[in-house]
Amino acid sequence: MTGSNHALAFLFPGQGSQTVGMGKDLAEKFPIARQTFEEADEALGYKLSQVCFEGPEDQLRLTEITQPAILTVSVAALRVFETRAPRPSYVAGHSLGEYSAHVAAGTFSFADAVRTVRNRGKYMQEAVPVGVGAMAAILGMDYEKVAAVCHDAAEGEVCAPANINSPEQIVISGNTAAVERAARLADERGAKRAKLLPVSAPFHCSLMKPAQDRLEADLNALKMQNPVYPVACNVEAELIADDLRARDTLVRQVTGSVKWDQCMRLLIGKGVQTFVEIGPGKVLCGLMRQIDRSKTCLNVGDEATLTKALESLAQATV
């Protein structure tokens, strides 16, 4: 890799990318991936690997299982990939994926991260009783208009942009009635589509404050060091290079919005031409097509995609 024109960024997916069977292929074919699943099972005290490989799906969808499961598959894929690929200039992760990014950057250990995101999922689930909160995706409406819709629909309740994913897709979060009003209002004001999402809690809004307070205590107890790669953080869309800011931004991320679009533009501005999504699914590559189609986005989630990504990178550096 020479010069900034070949800057590479590793990206890590968040909740919603889980599928039964994820990671199985890697664990069967690569000892380091298998060890990663064993490490997670040991850290959590139950067979997370079995839920990833075999399901059942309803169990994999429980937030406190989903979060460590996606993190583990991402780190297993990372460990296989990074021994064969060039080093990244930057790392970033979407919501939960920011923890995978910090594992990649050595900010904290994998075992600590697995336990922390299990708790993060549990605290988020317990912060708001089921049915009280909701999330909706607003498609084809710009941020200012979505913010205005949230403001007008709130009526004293919580309703706010939660994930600014791309110019085409913004997810809002808050009290169920307010989010439903906002979805209707977005439709009336010309959004391409507004649809309620099948999520178990209203992530990334002020209703998550109880979860944030509980998680802060856990993060404060974690042993952290400065990341070896700058991490583009969700809550500020800025690069993090020290452990204190890493801790602070991970705490605030629980109630803060995920500024994914801005994070990607920040990295593109730093000269990143190639992005590699590491972990289950291809959600972030899909968002990159909406943010900047001229950039290359590869994904690594099993042996086939690993081989393909390595071939693409080899050609790019010739």
- 169 with 153: CB under 8 angstroms? no
Share of the chain above pLDDT 90, in %: 93
Lowest-confidence pick of 4-8, 10-14, 223-227: 4-8
Q: What is the mean pLDDT of the segment spanning 19-31? A: 97
Rounded to the nearest 5°, which phi and psi values hold at 208? -85, 5
DSSP-assigned letter for residue 207: G
Burial state string for 229-242 with b = 16 or more CB within 10 A and e = fewer than 16: bbbbbbbbbbbbee
The three-state secondary structure class of 124 is helix
With a cut of 90, say whether residue 23 has pLDDT above it: yes
User: Which amino acid belongs to residue 87?
Assistant: R
pLDDT of 3 reads: 40
pLDDT of 298 reads: 98
Q: What is the mean pLDDT of the segment spanning 230-239? A: 98
With a cut of 70, say whether residue 316 has pLDDT above it: yes
CA distance 250 to 193: 31
* Residue 45, C-beta contacts closer than 8 angstroms, at least 6 positions apart: none
Q: What is the mean pLDDT of the segment spanning 249-270? A: 98
CA distance 134 to 121: 16
DSSP 236-270: TTEEE-SHHHHHHHHHHTTTS-B-HHHHHHHHHHT
With a cut of 60, say whether residue 127 has pLDDT above it: yes
- What is the H or E stretch that residue 89 is in? none
**Could you tell me which residues are beta bridge partners of residue 161?**
172
The catalytic position among 95, 166, 173, 257 is 95
- What is the H or E stretch that residue 184 is in? helix 176-188
CA distance 91 to 30: 23
Closest CA to 174 of 147, 197, 203, 199: 203
* Owner of token pair 């939960």: 96
pLDDT of 318 reads: 60
- Reported as a pLDDT band with limits 50, 70 and 90, residue 130 is confident
pLDDT of 302 reads: 97
DSSP-assigned letter for residue 107: S
Tokens read off for 215:
């998680």
- 207 with 68: CB under 8 angstroms? no
DSSP 53-71: HH--HHHHTSHHHHHHHHH
- Averaged pLDDT of the chain: 96
Q: What is the mean pLDDT of the segment spanning 45-69? A: 95
pLDDT of 2 reads: 35
The three-state secondary structure class of 105 is coil
With a cut of 80, say whether residue 317 has pLDDT above it: no
pLDDT of 118 reads: 97
Q: What is the mean pLDDT of the segment spanning 200-210? A: 95
User: Which amino acid belongs to residue 295?
Assistant: K
CA distance 1 to 317: 6
What is the value of pTM for the model shown? 0.96
Q: Is 49 a catalytic residue?
A: no
- 168 with 140: CB under 8 angstroms? yes
CA distance 21 to 51: 8
The catalytic position among 74, 173, 204, 257 is 204
Q: What is the mean pLDDT of the segment spanning 171-193? A: 98
Q: Is 6 a catalytic residue?
A: no
* Residue 9, C-beta contacts closer than 8 angstroms, at least 6 positions apart: 88, 89, 90, 91, 92, 232, 267, 272, 274, 275, 276
With a cut of 50, say whether residue 1 has pLDDT above it: no
Rg of the Cα trace of the chain? Answer: 19
Question: Which domains are seen in the chain, by residue range?
Answer: 4-127+207-317 (3.40.366.10), 133-199 (3.30.70.250)
